[in-house]
Structure 1
Amino acid sequence: MNQLFRNRIGIPAEETITFQHLPNVLLKTAKAIPFENLRIIENKTRSITKENVIDKMLVKQEGGLCYELNALLYFFFVENGFNAELVRGVVYNNDKKEWLTLGSTHVAVLLRHDEQTYLVDTGFGSNLPLKPVPLNGEVITSSNGEFRIKQSDNDHGNYVLELKLAHKDKDWRIGYTFDSKRPVKNVADFNEIQTILIEDDASPFNKNSLVTKFTDDGTITLTDTSLTQWINGKYSKEKIDHKQFNDLAKQHFGLAGMK
């Protein structure tokens, strides 16, 4: 698994991964493995196990949603000697000013290093910090914007990730809350999340195809009807049809024959 992950994101087999290397690991992961829901749309999901997650994203070269992407990152961290655990959280709807009704369906990683705890996330679409974010409130800046974590006890967790994306957000907004006191012991727990995202009417992932990843210059997002790109802070969007979707999924994301 360790070698397959390194091959997928482009890190040499012999390179020792230290905490200082993690921004590079996270950026390479965000560019190489897309955030996508195509198996849900095609009704081709499998149960969430370590073996299936590895097969899907490292053998079949697909992408995944947060519970797959961050599970894979967690396995990689553990194999490289990091003190990591998985946690669940609830995403915030900033338009409605409320927590999503889907429950704790977001997954992220907590990493402990030098007596400090950090949030690490490679499964939040185009909202990724691209660096570990400490739980002490310090603002972390990356090419994708500014990120911080506040302690905030609420009905769903005890910390909140806040973000201000470059070129997009003028003010801080809430990303999600998570519960650091309830680590996930087994990725099989994520089958509950997958079922909710497949079946719940409120799920944003069971209606239309979505594929997004980071690029050298920004992000690229493909849906059933559009291709959107952010290139050096400039936004472009073009309408597409079904046939173009297949071609663009292969061209930009390497997802041949998915739809």
Structure 2
Amino acid sequence: RLTARGLAVGWPGRPPVVTGLDLDLCPGRSVAVVGPSGVGKTTLLLTLAGFLPPRGGELLLDGIPLTDVDPTVRLARLALTTEDAHVFETTLLENLRVARGDATPEDARAALVRAGLGDWLAGLPDGVDTALGPDARSVSGGERRRLLLARSLLATAPLLLVDEPAEHLDPGTADRLVGDLLAAPRAAGTAPAAAGAPGDGTPARGVLVVTHRLAPLAAADEVLVLRDGRVAARGTHAHLLVADAQYGEAHASEQDEGGTTSTWPTS
């Protein structure tokens, strides 16, 4: 269980970008974090993952201050997906085994399908044994993002933190991917499914997703809206559409633009 109380986040030596944040994340629960660009969403994610120290308040992992948790234990319990993670010049399978060394080709294929790369995988000459070029130059931005997500899906950590999984994707694909991620904690163990997918009988995960997409957030247990250096609103997607005018306007702008972007009002 990851618990924040009155948490302040920011880069060392600079003023905090978010203060007074409360959060609870545990297996079986999904949380989305949204807000205008530059509001501090990624800084929050890096703090929750233990890569930036809290600037104030309390951040606990299983009741222990996160800064006091052994890094090996922290990495085993918190899986983080960020855009700048490295893709290696080796096979697709070995890139995924960075997260779990004993992953089988079947495990890798299931994770790639769940990350929205099923069609891409089917077109590769050697499937998961296909070698990626230097610095993965043969992989597009959207494919790279989903490859890194598939890597995290293979990890055994009970808590998954994901930064902007919808980046570089078309609106339909983005919304399916974000919706699946947020719905997965409740679906885990409910029915037989492919390895690593919701419903395969594996323990439920807790998932926190930082995203600019609002349309799929009905799948989240809770949505946190960051604005003006704080959590300006929180609740379900349906509640926020009614209770928070700026959230409603941003959602409407996303629909008006054909589902391509959310424009947050400036006041």
With structure 2 as the length reference, what TM-score do the two structures score?
0.26
With structure 1 as the length reference, what TM-score do the two structures score?
0.27
Between Structure 1 and Structure 2, the one with more strand by share is: 1
Higher RCO structure, 1 or 2 (CA under 8 Å, sep 6+): 2
